[in-house]
Structure formats: structure tokens, C-alpha cells
Amino acid sequence: MRIGSILLIIWLVIGLIAAAQRNYFNEKVSCASAGTVIVTILAGPLNYVGVNPKLSCH
């Protein structure tokens, strides 16, 4: 259980780094930009192997 928690935290930190590198925190806050930031953070290390999650709101 403890190793799983540590891995989850590392996963999310890598996602935060990816979102910061893409300057997502400097954008105007909207439904789409907030969703994109959240999905990028959740994708974590997958961002560095070609995953580029984007969301749009209708």
C-alpha cells in the first residue's frame, strides 16, 4: 500500500511538471484550459511518450 501511494504521488508530480513545461498555468482560466491541465496531470509520465491530452467544453 505504501509503495502504491508513493508511485501515485510521483506520477502526479511528473504530470504537474509536464503541465508547467507546456505553460498551461499561464493561460486564461476556462473550462477547456482547466480540463486540459487536469488531464495532463493525470496522464503523468505518458506526456513524455507522445500523449498530448486536450479537452474541449461545449
What ranges do the domains of the chain cover?
A: 2-49
Neighbours of 37 (CB within 10 A): 21
58 pLDDT more than 80: no
- Rounded to two decimals, the pTM is 0.81
Dump pLDDT digits (tens) for 16-52.
999 999 888 887 888 888 888 899 999 999 988 988 8
pLDDT at 32: 83
| pLDDT at residue 34 in the model | 87
Per-residue pLDDT for 1 more than 80? no
pLDDT above 90 for 13: yes
Which residues, including other chains, have CB under 8 Å from residue 27's CB and lie 6 or more apart? 33
